[in-house]
Structure 1
Amino acid sequence: MEQCGGSLRKRVAMSVDRISELPEALLIQILSSLPTKLVISTSVLSQRWRSVWEMMPNLEFDQSNGNIKGFAENVSKSLLLHKAPILQSLHLKVRDRCEHVYVGIWVAIAFNRHVRDFELDLNFYGNPVRFPSCLFCFNELETLKLKNKLLLDVPCLVPMKSLRTLHLDYVEYKDDESYRNLLSSCPNLEHLVLRRHYHYNAVSNFVIVAPSLKTLWLHDTIHRAGNSSFEINAPSLEFLNIEKLTGYQVFRIENALEIVEANIRNVSYIANEMIMGSLSSAKRLSLDLSPLQITFPTGVIFRQLVELEMYTHKDEWWNLLTLMLDSSPKLQVLKLIDDGSTSLDFDKKSTDEGKWNEPKYVPECLLSHLETLVWTRYHWEREEEKEVATYILRNARQLKKATFTTYPIKSKKLNKLARRREQFSELECVVSSCELVLQVE
């Protein structure tokens, strides 16, 4: 037995020795796939491992448990011991309120280590922590992500010429000038994420002037009183995502001639016209808008649009669909989606105001280009949906495949199964060479 135990210890020792003899660069590459907390714990394995973690290029600290004081001191100590000439990334997530002095220490050490990717997420209740404005003056930073309980005070322009990606998620700004100075300090910015919550202090006039900006994400649930504006001047913009943009009296998108893809969700009627009128160059659009609030600019044609995705849970959604089909002569793919917010058993009654009216003229895209139709959560019981589906299938002469997905029928309502089969057969009679597919979620 003793001999067997000795043999096992020998094999373990040989295995450890083989790993320890690997070049440091290879060890660092192996450790890079592990959590930072576990990587630091390898320092107790042997003399060889004591300082390997200190050369790790990427560090991530998450206060998932434990008191904030102990977490803050451990992070500060670890950063002071770190010796890599360049700290590629540092991500910090704090769940309890921490003193601003800790934030200052972490940021100062990270920037002194020439950090390229810095993320700070302070997710707790209470007043925000001021982000040290002097620490914005770092010209080597490429990615900056600031989230939640942070107050940004930027009294003047700062040198951030290397910054390519900026996320400002639910942070607060001292004033309009702080926001403007921060954005104006990033002349080479390519990716911007801007999210704001309703109970945060509002910047009344947002201006984004970014000549190199390629992607822009906006999420804003703040409701304002009085004059407010949002202006975007981004001539290189390729992707635009807007959600819950409400309350602005003025909304402008200027020089957005390169937009390829855009997703627009729940924007107020004030912004609808200017947003839609700025998307004429898009090839792919996803729209979740209320047709009752649409003021569509006259004469706008989506000449490049080949793929349209539309949500069907808003009242009279088919009116927006009719408008888009008529304005998109080269449309090839049409996706209609019910997000599930309405009840499966809801039988929508037609009224004179809410009934779909078949267009007098068939849109060019149906006659010449539409090849694919995907209708997710199609409601067989709704007469308007049946009429829209029949119209598209009957007039889309180049349609190759139409797929309808629907909810399964509950065991208590199997009597509806025969009716569904009958309705599907009616759709099959409309098409000629098109492949018709029925799928159940």
Structure 2
Amino acid sequence: MDCDRISELPDCLLTQILLYLPTKVSVSTSVLSKRWRFLWLMVPGLDLENPPTKCFESFIDNFMESNHKSRMQKFSIKSPGDHNRFVDWIEQAVVSGIHQLSVDTIYHCINMPHNIYQSKTLVSLKLARVRLEDPEVVVSLPCLKNMYLENVEYHSNLLIIEKLISGCPVLEDVTLIIKYRHVPGKEEVSQLLRVRSEFLKSFSFAYNGRPDRKDYAVEIDAAQLKYMKFMDTGCGRIVVKNLSSLFKVDLDTAFDKYVYGRRIWIPKKLSMRDVIPNFLTGISSVRHMIISYRTVRILHCYSILGPFPKFDNLYRLEAKICSYMFEFLTFLERCPNLKTLILDFGYNVTKKKQIEVRYVPRCLLVSLEYVEFKGLIWEEEIGKKQARYFLENSVVLKKLRLWCFRDSLTSKQDSDISKELLTFTKRSPECQIIMHCHCRTWRSA
């Protein structure tokens, strides 16, 4: 005989299960049976996305009233912030002792209540498209571990973010997404964003600014940072300190340089030239690095001015480059112990030129074991040349994986490519070649 084992669970367990579901789904369980009819009212959290405006305010008021005697764990709402009670609900949720607060007002920007600056229970704070005013009190968030701020308007300047981070003694994960906003009549001044945290382990920063202005400078000081992602189109300066624990970094930045087509402006002042080398020195202990096409271009141009610091600990490197850009090998020279290299050739360029490579980076001779090409155009001579280079010069290579760019190749062309690969000289006899092309996979013996 079938029996409903879930309904036999105690209310405390059932409400915790419903807490992980959107409120709309949680409410729908009321039709299951009498056992479930009012259970959703006892769920210690609210999760609404794009709720209907009709009866919206009364629904939340009733829900808050049902939970006013118990501590709410979660308050998540994504809705236009044009309701009269919107700020009151957030303030009331914070007072009730929530652990997770997520607010996205879509396009009606509202001022967040000041009591979020002194919550003793908040563990996770996620804000999008809201406005933060300069706190009138000392920021104290003793339990906050995760902070996510996306396109938030700051009443005065980025000092608000610095105060927020400084007031979170156990903060571990920070994501900042900042979009340039021009305010008519307001003087535009350069701003410094300082990220200083003793326990911070993950930091992601994205700034979408005007390419003709460099309004922001970022300083990161986090001794326990493990992961850093940095993406920007208008940041003036990047300074890093005490990042000896850094494990993985993801870079998509031109630093403080202008890039127009193939022309890159390199400053004449030595102090400005030192920005990139100093940054690389600060992250030189990293083990896994991901870099974009424009970052590769900048690094190559600056390698002309002098050698970069060595990345002795780097074992995995992923980079997006264009098909003819073998200048990237100058950067590999600074990675003597690299084991894994993944190159994405998917960046399209109109000009393709042949480049003769006459030297071999040290990592190809002593450490490189795995190479992967993505977006490879095998029909062109340059694609074959790239594969041949690594096969002929990698001493300890164990696997070369090729992803062909075009799926329009016929089975006969697949076979021809496979035969051609077998004619290539392999410096490492143990190297296996794997090619993915035309929805098929070919492996060498």
Aligned amino acid, residue 190 of structure 1 = E
1:105-254 matches, cutoff 5 A: 105-124=88-107, 128-176=109-157, 177-199=159-181, 204-223=191-210, 225=213, 228-243=216-231, 245-254=232-241
Residue 267 (structure 2) pairs with residue 280 (structure 1): no
1:215 is displaced (CA, Å) by: 0.4
What stretches of structure 2 of length at least 5 have no aligned partner? 258-274, 440-445
Given that residues 207 and 235 in structure 2 are in contact (C-alpha distance below 8 angstroms), is that contact kept between their aligned partners in structure 1? no
Query: Which residue in the other structure is 1:307 paired with?
Result: 316
Query: Which residue in the other structure is 1:333 paired with?
Result: 340
Distance in 2 (CA, whole Å) between partners of 1:152 and 1:282 is: 36
Distance in 1 (CA, whole Å) between partners of 2:32 and 2:430 is: 69
Larger Rg: 1
1:350-429 matches, cutoff 5 A: 350=353, 355-360=354-359, 362-410=360-408, 420-421=417-418, 423-427=420-424
Given that residues 192 and 215 in structure 1 are in contact (C-alpha distance below 8 angstroms), is that contact kept between their aligned partners in structure 2? yes
Secondary structure at the aligned position of 1:131 is classed as coil
Residue 429 (structure 2) pairs with residue 432 (structure 1): yes
Query: Which residue in the other structure is 1:63 paired with?
Result: 50
1:156 is displaced (CA, Å) by: 4.2
1:40 is displaced (CA, Å) by: 2.9
Query: Which residue in the other structure is 2:348 paired with?
Result: 342
- The equivalent position to 2:58 in structure 1, one of 62, 70, 73, is 73
Given that residues 277 and 309 in structure 2 are in contact (C-alpha distance below 8 angstroms), is that contact kept between their aligned partners in structure 1? no
Given that residues 136 and 160 in structure 1 are in contact (C-alpha distance below 8 angstroms), is that contact kept between their aligned partners in structure 2? yes
What stretches of structure 1 of length at least 5 have no aligned partner? 1-10
1:88 is displaced (CA, Å) by: 2.1
Identical-residue share of aligned pairs (%)? 24
Secondary structure at the aligned position of 1:277 is classed as helix
Given that residues 55 and 83 in structure 1 are in contact (C-alpha distance below 8 angstroms), is that contact kept between their aligned partners in structure 2? no
Distance in 1 (CA, whole Å) between partners of 2:200 and 2:358 is: 39
* CA shift in 2, pair 1:358/1:116, >3 Å: same
Residue 82 (structure 2) pairs with residue 98 (structure 1): yes
* CA shift in 2, pair 1:173/1:317, >3 Å: farther
Query: Which residue in the other structure is 1:6 paired with?
Result: none
1:414 is displaced (CA, Å) by: 8.5
Aligned amino acid, residue 373 of structure 1 = V
* CA shift in 2, pair 1:301/1:109, >3 Å: same
Aligned amino acid, residue 357 of structure 2 = E
* CA shift in 2, pair 1:418/1:105, >3 Å: same
- After superposition, the C-alpha distances for 1:9-48 in whole angstroms (9 at most, x for unaligned) are xx9xx968x8665422343245345432232344577765
1:150 is displaced (CA, Å) by: 3.4
* CA shift in 2, pair 1:233/1:19, >3 Å: closer
Aligned amino acid, residue 108 of structure 1 = E
Aligned amino acid, residue 234 of structure 1 = A
- After superposition, the C-alpha distances for 1:177-219 in whole angstroms (9 at most, x for unaligned) are 3233222212221100000123366872211111211100011
Given that residues 401 and 433 in structure 2 are in contact (C-alpha distance below 8 angstroms), is that contact kept between their aligned partners in structure 1? yes
Given that residues 57 and 84 in structure 1 are in contact (C-alpha distance below 8 angstroms), is that contact kept between their aligned partners in structure 2? no
Given that residues 390 and 430 in structure 1 are in contact (C-alpha distance below 8 angstroms), is that contact kept between their aligned partners in structure 2? no
* CA shift in 2, pair 1:42/1:151, >3 Å: same
- After superposition, the C-alpha distances for 1:352-406 in whole angstroms (9 at most, x for unaligned) are xxx434243x322111111111111112244444333322211111111111011
Secondary structure at the aligned position of 1:206 is classed as strand
Q: Aligned residues, how many?
A: 409
TM-score by length of 1: 0.82
Distance in 2 (CA, whole Å) between partners of 1:29 and 1:115 is: 14
Given that residues 99 and 124 in structure 2 are in contact (C-alpha distance below 8 angstroms), is that contact kept between their aligned partners in structure 1? yes
Secondary structure at the aligned position of 1:256 is classed as coil
Q: In angstroms, what is the RMSD of aligned CA positions? A: 3.1
TM-score by length of 2: 0.81
1:21-32 matches, cutoff 5 A: 22-32=9-19
Distance in 2 (CA, whole Å) between partners of 1:410 and 1:47 is: 59
Given that residues 54 and 83 in structure 1 are in contact (C-alpha distance below 8 angstroms), is that contact kept between their aligned partners in structure 2? no
Query: Which residue in the other structure is 2:262 paired with?
Result: none
* CA shift in 2, pair 1:395/1:41, >3 Å: closer
- After superposition, the C-alpha distances for 1:226-257 in whole angstroms (9 at most, x for unaligned) are 664211111111101112x2333332011111
1:169 is displaced (CA, Å) by: 0.8
1:113 is displaced (CA, Å) by: 2.1
Distance in 2 (CA, whole Å) between partners of 1:336 and 1:236 is: 29
Distance in 2 (CA, whole Å) between partners of 1:157 and 1:135 is: 11
Distance in 2 (CA, whole Å) between partners of 1:418 and 1:42 is: 57
Distance in 2 (CA, whole Å) between partners of 1:235 and 1:264 is: 19
